[in-house]
Amino acid sequence: MSNILEISGAGLRMVDIARAAYDFNVNVSLGQEACESIIRSRRLLDDLILQGKVIYGVNTSMGGFVKYLIPEKYAAEMQENLIAAVATNVGSYFDDHVVRATMLARINSLARGVSAISLENLQKFVDIFNKGICPCIPQKGSLGTSGDLGPLAAIALALTGKWKVRYRGEVMDASDALRDANIEPLKLSYKEGLALINGTSAMTGLACLLVNDAEKLIESYESVTALTLEALQGKRKVFSPLVHEEKLHPGQRASATNIYNMLSGSGMISNEDDISKELRSQLSDDVIDGVDNQIEDAYSLRCTPHILGPIKDAVDYVKSVVENELNSSSDNPLVIPKCGDVYHNGHFHGQYMSMAMDHLSIALVTLSNLSDRRIDRFMDKNNSNGLPPFLCENDQGIRLGLMGGQFMSASLASENRSLCVPVSIQSLPSTADFQDIVSLGLVAARRAREILDNTIYVISFELLCACQAADIRGAEKLGAHTATIYNALRSFLPFFDKDEPLTPYLEDVANFIRNGMVCPSGMTNEHAI
């Protein structure tokens, strides 16, 4: 795979962002057509100014000062004041991979050639990215409406030799990092500060990483499902593609087929036809009686495709929104060479992204709800088809088995529900009512990331329980697919025949999931979730 990622303003994918964000060996370059468009846009802006056009952020002030007209001689000073004034985020800094994703999203948007940034300055932006210089971006404080002003201003300040960056493992002044990297700071002219900060690139960059990871988690969860079904002696026939042809939802059909195939060859899964014969032998013409077995599984097993299906379809929709935004221009105004004019607009507004992140949060909370219910079946001897209570095989009562793990998983599943109040509707006006309805898109993305992290821990305990239950039933009866996952986990995860703290093991299982080791391919993903 090439270590050069060409940026053209179009066709960039989530997976491209994720690869370059995590791998500092990936360099980006501006495509030739993009360079030509960037030059044309800047020249058009120059011409429009000479023609006497009044243009927002060029010869007017910005935000609540929009009614102030600004002479051209103050252009550079105003752009520098802009990025200094709005760099007001607070809190801990984003990780480097989030910063790199944000920088890439901004470079790609500017590379569309309608933002009137100079090619020289955008090329310096690219050079700074390629050198691995990561501006320090505080996480909290973006309204997500005139774009992610605070986060992008932190980047813009660093590009101009101000603020702080992480470089070669150290936090240092941006001016020192640029000097060490032999890059001259950007010198801003009219419109360029605005072009750098007026966009949705922080929420979009983070969303690219989140959705990429969510896709892999859902793919992994189908494998977790197969192992759980075996360990709980669920039934396979209900997942037959023949059944799901009668429902038209693509996600449901795909999940059912995947799980059905993963259960092939299992000696642990229940056979519905055999159960039917057993139950028929106990059916009396005269007596109504209860039996130990049942013809159907509980919803958290039987309805898995009907739950994972909409999750998959929702994430597919979110992915389309994120990639559309990634390959869009998101600043104001746009200077469009093919139209020969400047267009004031609201492309910086992050409502698409905010609502998409809310959809992602709903999908992930639903996933943690499903996992929580399966965990409860493992814990409850009345619902586990013969497993001991709390998967405690010996010294019951003296030992508590895996009871404590459910405290954690139930807590995080509950926390996820509390986090799932929609962010995209939480608008408050600001800037003297100039920004009178805001998106909070970056807040929604940050919240989705927290839900994703919690969900991974919940699923980690389900996976731990499934391995424990498989050993109790006889792990040699697992199917080929689930046996591969089981054996990989058993390389570091013991069978619990004594009570001990589960925390270190849960962290190891969570990393196992994050590294993509539960995916059907059995291969490690390019980066951690």
Catalytic positions, please?
A: 56
**Nearest residue to 502 via CA among 455, 459, 461, 453:** 461
CA angle 178, 179, 181 (to 5 degrees): 65
Evaluate whether 529 touches 454 at the Cβ level (below 8 Å).
no
How many CB atoms neighbour CB 176 within 10 A?
Answer: 14
CA angle 75, 88, 77 (to 5 degrees): 15
**Nearest residue to 218 via CA among 456, 478, 415, 4:** 456
Evaluate whether 153 touches 195 at the Cβ level (below 8 Å).
no
Residue 164's DSSP bridge partners are 173
* 3-class DSSP assignment, residue 60: strand
- Helices 441-473 and 480-490 sit at what angle, rounded to 10 degrees? 100
For residue 204, give both structure tokens. 């979009």
Helix ranges (DSSP H) in 303-402: 304-326, 351-379
- Helices 480-490 and 250-262 sit at what angle, rounded to 10 degrees? 80
DSSP 110-178: HTTS-S---HHHHHHHHHHHHTT-EE--EEE---SSSSSHHHHHHHHHHHTT-SEEEETTEEEEHHHHH
Question: What are the counts of helices (DSSP H) followed by strands (DSSP E) for the chain?
Answer: 19, 9
Longest dimension (CA), the chain: 100
CA distance 130 to 40: 25
DSSP single-letter state for residue 235 = B
How many CB atoms neighbour CB 121 within 10 A?
Answer: 22
End-to-end, the C-alpha distance of the chain in Å comes to 21
Where b means 16+ CB within 10 Å and e means fewer, 465-490 reads bbbbbbbbbebeebbebbbbbbeebe
Non-local CB neighbours of 258 within 8 Å, separated by 6+ positions = 222, 520
